[in-house]
Amino acid sequence: MREYLKFYIDGQWVDPVTAKTAEVINPATEAVSGTISLGSAADVDKAVAAARRAFETWGETSVKDRLEILEAIQAEYAKRSDELGDAVVEEMGAPVGLGRGFHVGLGAGHLQTAIDVLKEFPFEQQKGASLIRYEPIGVCGLITPWNWPMNQTCVKIFPALAAGCTMILKPPQLAPYSAQILAEIIHDAGTPAGVFNMVQGQGSVIGTALSTHQDVDMISFTGSEPVGVQIQKDAAETVKRVGLELGGKSAWIVLDDDALAANVAGATGGMMGNSGQTCSAGSRLLVPASRLDEAVNAATEACNAVTVGDPLSDVAMGPVVSKSQFNIIQDYIQKGLDEGATLIAGGLGRPEGLDKGWFVKPTVFVGTNDMVISREEIFGPVLVIIPYEDEADAIRIANDSLFGLGGYVSGQDADKCRAIARKLRTGAIWINGGFDFHAPFGGYKRSGNGREWGEYGFHEYLEIKSIIG
């Protein structure tokens, strides 16, 4: 049983201003796995004051000094990587191979990328008669979600540290354990007091306090569209910068070629990863109408092959994060049935043999792009296959969405894939797989604004100054 009742403020583990706690539930067992404290606006005030004091010196540190801290954090992170992975398994139900593997690996990758970028980043550039300086924006409020807890915290913390900012992290209430261990890692690495602070608690309390605080210069938020909209409204009073990475309903276009069946199977399996709880998941699978039957067969076979069960065992998919999330997904599956979508795999209820835990059946529908299950982000292992007539029709369907976070194109002709990608109104597009920590990630339309990852993520935490003449 874990018990994390202190916050990390000004280089110390301190008691909350007021004693209020919440239980954390293991989504695989429905049992209480630990207790955390819930912070208040008063705790945020203390953390912001510490960050403001620390910024006076941290913001003036050299690249060499910041690199030394980041490399010390890297060494501590490596020592505790399995512990971080086990925390992710326990808090949000990721299978142990995924938790110790990709979840923790993403955090390590963002840390290494921040180190690499910092070594070469041009904080001063001469442009004609003017000197252009990139300076740290100041005190940052970082608000992160539960679905990829290490990815989403590390992609914010390490570029902000590298840029010379100080910060207050508000981790997700549903998945707080890995953030607690990460705070210990940052402390043990010798990070100066006040540079990094962490306050656990409810988003409506801690997030609001950060967004409205006059001494917070920037908010970086990853999460749902409605919360992102509220944060923008709250931050408007103090005219602070707001970076938002919000929801998605990404299209995965499979081209009409000899690799169609394999690409459909890959897209289906990819959708089920992390129990479908990925903002950029390819939840709309676009296939040629003339080969719909072939695509359906490939998707059905791939979906039925996804193993679901105890995340401590060798399975492909664990539970979703909570009872609330389980019920939301069940409601969407029912809506798909009510709308007349054709169910080809999965469906309502838990998988056979799983009577406890928030396990969802990997589910695939065939439908149309005007259905609710094709328009709204389900955030679970639910895929909708949508047929298209030709490539122009596929592009039209893909772009017919309020969201624009991710996109995928699979086909044997790489030039054709890139030509289609250029016409998609979305922030990141993966062609036949691929991965790059230096590629900017962020959304068009209601998927947010700003970019994270690599050098582009540094700019989120920097102001631009012109020294002219």
Q: What is the 3-state secondary structure (H, E, C) of 341-395?
A: CEEEECCCCCCCCCCCCCCCCCEEEECCCCCHHHHCCCCCCEEEEEEECCHHHHH
What is the structure's pLDDT at 434? Answer: 86
CB 400 within 8 A of CB 369: yes
In this structure, the answer to whether residues 370 and 230 fall within a common structural domain is: no
In this structure, the answer to whether residues 177 and 191 fall within a common structural domain is: yes
Interatomic CA distance for residues 367 and 378, integer angstroms? 15
In this structure, the answer to whether residues 64 and 41 fall within a common structural domain is: yes
In this structure, the answer to whether residues 284 and 222 fall within a common structural domain is: no
Q: Please give the average per-residue pLDDT across 76-105, as a whole number.
A: 98
CB 251 within 8 A of CB 286: yes
* Whether the predicted pLDDT of 149 surpasses 90: yes
Task: Encode pLDDT of 201-246 as tens digits.
Answer: 999 999 999 999 999 999 999 999 999 999 999 999 999 999 999 9
Distances, alpha carbon 450 to alpha carbons 138, 381, 457, in Å: 17, 27, 8
Q: Please give the average per-residue pLDDT across 13-27, as a whole number.
A: 97
Q: What are phi and psi of 376, to 5 degrees?
A: -110, 150
Helix (H) or strand (E) holding 141: strand 139-143
In this structure, the answer to whether residues 204 and 334 fall within a common structural domain is: no
CB 219 within 8 A of CB 235: yes
| DSSP alpha helix (H) spans, 100-139 | 104-120
Q: How much is the mean pLDDT over the chain?
A: 98
Pairing mode of beta strands 241-245, 342-345: unpaired
Q: Please give the average per-residue pLDDT across 162-169, as a whole number.
A: 98
In this structure, the answer to whether residues 132 and 263 fall within a common structural domain is: no
Task: Encode pLDDT of 176-212 as tens digits.
Answer: 999 999 999 999 999 999 999 999 999 999 999 999 9
**What SS3 class is residue 255?**
coil
CB 86 within 8 A of CB 99: yes
Q: Please give the average per-residue pLDDT across 41-62, as a whole number.
A: 98
- What is the percent of the chain where pLDDT is above 90? 99
Residue type, 204: S
What is the structure's pLDDT at 379? Answer: 97
245 a catalytic residue? yes
Distances, alpha carbon 82 to alpha carbons 89, 105, 162, 181, 318, in Å: 11, 10, 25, 11, 18
Catalytic residue among 245, 391, 452, 455: 245
Q: Is residue 169 part of a domain?
A: yes
> Treating both helix axes as pointing N-terminal to C-terminal, what angle do 292-304 and 260-272 enclose, rounded to 10 degrees?
40
Q: At which residue do the structure tokens 């994270």 appear?
A: 452
What is the structure's pLDDT at 30? Answer: 98
CB 219 within 8 A of CB 211: yes
CB 346 within 8 A of CB 329: no
CATH of the domain at 372: 3.40.309.10
Residue 120 domain boundaries: 2-246+447-468
pTM score: 0.97
Which residue, 231, 222, 59, 239, is CA-closest to 137? 59
CATH of the domain at 14: 3.40.605.10
In this structure, the answer to whether residues 349 and 460 fall within a common structural domain is: no
* Whether the predicted pLDDT of 71 surpasses 90: yes
In this structure, the answer to whether residues 215 and 330 fall within a common structural domain is: no
Q: Is residue 173 part of a domain?
A: yes
Interatomic CA distance for residues 217 and 72, integer angstroms? 27
In this structure, the answer to whether residues 279 and 231 fall within a common structural domain is: no
Interatomic CA distance for residues 287 and 268, integer angstroms? 12
Interatomic CA distance for residues 123 and 68, integer angstroms? 18
| DSSP per position, 27-90 | TTT-SEEEEEE---HHHHHHHHHHHHHHHHHHTT--HHHHHHHHHHHHHHHHHTHHHHHHHHHH
Q: Is residue 419 part of a domain?
A: yes
CB 59 within 8 A of CB 138: yes
Q: Is residue 442 part of a domain?
A: no
Q: Residue 420, exposed/middle/buried by CB under 10 A (0-12, 13-18, 19+)?
A: buried
Task: Encode pLDDT of 34-50 as tens digits.
Answer: 999 999 999 999 999 99
* Whether the predicted pLDDT of 356 surpasses 90: yes
Interatomic CA distance for residues 143 and 159, integer angstroms? 15
Q: Which DSSP symbol is given to 441?
A: B
Q: Is residue 149 part of a domain?
A: yes
pLDDT-derived band at 169, boundaries 50, 70, 90:
very high
Q: Copy the structure tokens of residue 136.
A: 């740290």
Q: What order of strands is seen across the sheet that includes strand 382-388?
A: 342-345, 363-366, 382-388, 284-288, 251-254, 406-410, 428-431
In this structure, the answer to whether residues 277 and 418 fall within a common structural domain is: yes
Domain count along the chain = 2
What is the structure's pLDDT at 156? Answer: 98
Q: Is residue 187 part of a domain?
A: yes
Q: What order of strands is seen across the sheet that includes strand 139-143?
A: 12-14, 7-9, 196-198, 166-170, 139-143, 218-222, 241-245, 448-449
In this structure, the answer to whether residues 420 and 304 fall within a common structural domain is: yes
Q: Copy the structure tokens of residue 466.
A: 């012109």
Q: Residue 292, exposed/middle/buried by CB under 10 A (0-12, 13-18, 19+)?
A: middle
In this structure, the answer to whether residues 58 and 112 fall within a common structural domain is: yes
pLDDT-derived band at 432, boundaries 50, 70, 90:
very high
